Structure 1
Amino acid sequence: MAFSSISAGKRARQPELEADYNRSPALGYEPSAEVGFIRCLDHGFPTPLARWHCHDEYELHMIVATSGKAFVGDWIGPFEPGHVVLCGPRLPHNWISTDVPEEGIEKRDLVIQFLHAPIENASRLIPELGELMPLLERARHGVEFFGFAEAGERHWHRVKAAKGMRRLTAFIDLMADLARWNDYRLLSSVQMQGADNDAELDQINAIVSRITENVAQSMTAGDFAAELGMSESRFSRFFRRATGNTYTDFVNQVRINRACQLLMGTDRYVTNICYDVGFNNVANFNRRFRELKGLTPTEFRRQAESRFGGSAAEAAKGR
């Protein structure tokens, strides 16, 4: 089974979209004809599956061997055995092991993939399933769960061993535990925390959409306050209650996350990206970037190239 190779050039920076024709049982996938919307997978490293890619399914990813560097959206960080992450649909990701013996590792990853629509549709008729929706919303940005590895492995083996209705019940048991797990962090981008009522939610969603769709726009908190007929102090309280961030911090996060996308997906100069995302000077951009990501934009781009792994990383260095 052949995967498309990643060559040097701008297109190599984009995640590969994984589809059913990529999913060979020879690589560890369960045959499509034998599973429903919940699919189990385990594999070693190196493998063609370890690449910068995305897919339409959610993916619960558990590392059981080796350590290295993980790439989830615009987040870059270390991993080791016990690392558990839930990625949402179309969120690019890759795990690159750096301590693999010459003969490779037979089993590094335990994975469960599942689709959104069956859960969302069922939740309209089964209110209890609504408990999963906040978890699935968080997964759009990637969620790392701390201290869940032992329970996660037990759940994975139960799901893997079950078929039909028993697989569904084992899967729901796993998801219920994840939905109630409080020790986690979001990995990529900012996350809404909700609002007090539907009208406020509509207002805050409209504001957030304008900020994220026009990152270089210089709208201030005072501008939005005037539009909503609020004082600036009242708007600031309203915005922080709804998003968990001050207006300025939120805008900076959105701009830095957009900068990460440009650093990973284009060859534009860092200076140009600074102005593209709405910062007025490079020094402030570099300072804010380091505060949020722990490294400079140039260092981030250099590290991000290794998300492809192997020869692709070497090809990226040659650009």
Structure 2
Amino acid sequence: MSRSKETGKQGSAPVYEMITVAPAQSFVLTRHDFPAERARWNYHPEYELHLITASSGRYVVGGHVGTFCAGSLFLIGPNLPHNWLSSLEKDELVPGRDLLVQIQSVWLQGLTELCPEFKILDGLLRDAASGVEFCGPSLKGFGQQMELIEKADSIERVTMIIKLLVDLARAPRRVLCSTQHSFVSKENKSQTIDMIIKFLLSVSLRDIRQADVARHVKMTPSAFSRLFQRATGDTFTSFVRRLRISRACELLVTTSKSVAIVGSEAGFSNLSNFNRVFLDDKQMTPREYRREAKTALNRPEV
């Protein structure tokens, strides 16, 4: 007897997914199994090109429910909740079910603004705000292009993704939601969450306290804590720790500041704490991360 498995229920608020682009890359390309922690009812500000490589089941995009099979390909716009639920036997695992390219909005917008030739993408991106599923005789080829992109090096990936997007802009597609279903409902208070995250990204994270942020958005600490965990799937403390790691990664790659100064500017109280948390999150020390990033960027180590 098969059943649909999921991590996160569509009856609950979608979880905010924080996506961090690695050094020397303009987007995130990843593959994951199902079930997996990442395979959940979620939303994020990036565009997501999503290929299902195996299994069948149902999906939910915004307010639309549909079915998928191996080879199904979707483009999901910013802040549009989504999830794909495979029909599986008990304890069954589908390895590498999801192949995703997650692209920052500013990257795509810059592409169309810089080159008039890419204006063909405008209509596709508008439709993506309501979710798009691709169809037609070229669908299998698009899936093959996605898998070739996964195997390519970082420079090749950029040109291959641009070509794929142009091809997709010309391909048959259907818009999934009758109206734009970007995550803006009053019940979920997404505007407040957006304000909170923008605030956290704009301030020093060294002495940030939950009570201060709650006051900034005019909420009581208890109401803030409930809203934040429901919307992000994470505690405030854990979320801030991830932001500190993300900021440290940026400083390690873009500056020649010492590891101690990087840790301090990223918001860590001392070097020992910084090294411990960084190693736990990245499975390498800050110095090792800087060395690998400099190698990826093909420039001298500082």
Q: How high is the TM-score relative to the length of structure 1?
A: 0.51
Identify which of 155, 171, 190 aligns with 1:181: 171
Deviation at 1:6, TM superposition (A): 5.9
**Which is helix-richer, 1 or 2?**
1
What corresponds to 1:119 in structure 2? 108
Tell me the residue number matched to 1:227.
none
Q: Deviations over 1:201-238 (max 9, x none)?
A: xxxxxxxxxxxxxxxxxxxxxxxxxxxxxxxxxxxxxx
- Is 2:77–2:125's contact at 8 Å kept on the other side of the alignment? yes
CA shift for structure 1 position 161: 2.4
CA RMSD in angstroms, aligned pairs only: 2.9
Q: Identify which range, 114-123 or 39-48, moves more after superposition.
A: 114-123
Letter paired with 1:169: T
Taking every aligned residue pair, what percent have the same amino acid on both sides?
A: 35
Please say if residues 62 and 149 of structure 1, whose CA atoms lie closer than 8 Å, have aligned partners that are also in contact: no
- Give the conservation status (yes or no) of the 8 Å contact 2:22–2:28: no
Go from structure 1 to structure 2 and tell me whether the alpha carbon gap of 1:67 and 1:101 turns closer, same or farther (over 3 Å shift): farther
Alpha-carbon distance in structure 2 between the residues aligned to 1:265 and 1:121: 30
Residue in 1 that maps onto 2:47:
58
Q: Answer whether contact 1:57 1:115 (CA < 8 A) is retained.
A: yes
Identify the residue that residue 163 of structure 1 maps to in structure 2: 153
Question: Match of 2:16?
Answer: 17
Instruction: Tell whether the 8 Å contact from 1:143 to 1:187 is kept in structure 2 after alignment.
Output: yes
Partner of 1:43: 32
Does 2:86 correspond to 1:97?
Answer: yes
- Superimposed CA distance per residue, residues 2-60 of structure 1 (whole angstroms, 9 cap, x where no aligned partner): xxx969xxx9721111003xx7xxxxxxxx43452222111111101111100111111
Q: How does 1:227-242 map to 2 (within 5 A)?
A: none
User: Tell me, which stretches of 5 or more residues in structure 2 are unaligned?
Assistant: 1-6, 190-302
Alpha-carbon distance between aligned partners in 2 of 1:153 and 1:123, rounded to the nearest angstrom: 24
Shift of 1:158: 2.6
- Within 5 A, what are the aligned runs for 1:290-301? none
Give, in whole Å, the separation in 1 of the partners of 2:54 and 2:80: 23
CA separation of 1:114 and 1:67: change in aligned 2, threshold 3 A: same
Residue 155 and residue 6 in structure 1: after superposition, are their counterparts in 2 closer, same or farther (change >3 A)? closer
Residues of 1 paired with 2:8 and 2:58: CA distance?
19
Match of 1:67 in 2: 56
1:164 CA drift (Å): 3.7
> 1:180-259 residue pairs with structure 2 within 5 A?
180-182=170-172, 184-190=173-179
Q: Per-residue deviation at 1:90?
A: 0.4
Q: How far off its partner does 1:265 sit?
A: 7.0
- CA shift for structure 1 position 61: 1.0
Q: What's 1:313 paired with?
A: none
Tell me how far apart the structure 2 counterparts of residues 110 and 135 of structure 1 sit (CA, whole Å): 20
Long gaps (5+) in structure 1: 24-31, 192-256, 267-319
Is the CA contact 2:31–2:98 (under 8 Å) kept in the aligned structure 1? yes
Q: 1:35 to 1:98 in 2, by over 3 A?
A: farther
* 1:110 maps onto 2:99 in alignment: yes
Partner secondary structure for residue 110 of structure 1? strand
Distance change in 2, residues 1:127/1:75 (3 Å)? same
Which moved further from structure 2: 122-131 or 98-107? 98-107
Question: Deviation of residue 166 (structure 1)?
Answer: 1.8
| Aligned residues of 1:68 and 1:97 also touching (Cα < 8 A) | yes
* Compared CA separation, residues 123 and 46, structure 1 to 2 (3 A): same
Shift of 1:179: 0.4
- Give the CA deviation at 1:80: 1.3
The verdict on how the C-alpha distance between 1:6 and 1:134 changes in structure 2, with shifts beyond 3 A counting, is closer
TM-score norm. by structure 2 comes to 0.54
Counterparts of 1:166 and 1:95 in 2: how far apart (Å)? 29
Distance 2:115 2:123 in 1: 16
Give the aligned partner of residue 213 of structure 1.
none
Check the 8 A contact 1:67/1:98 in 2, yes or no. yes
Instruction: Specify the alignment match of 1:84 in structure 2.
Output: 73
- 1:139 aligns with 128
Offset at residue 100 of structure 1 (A):
4.3
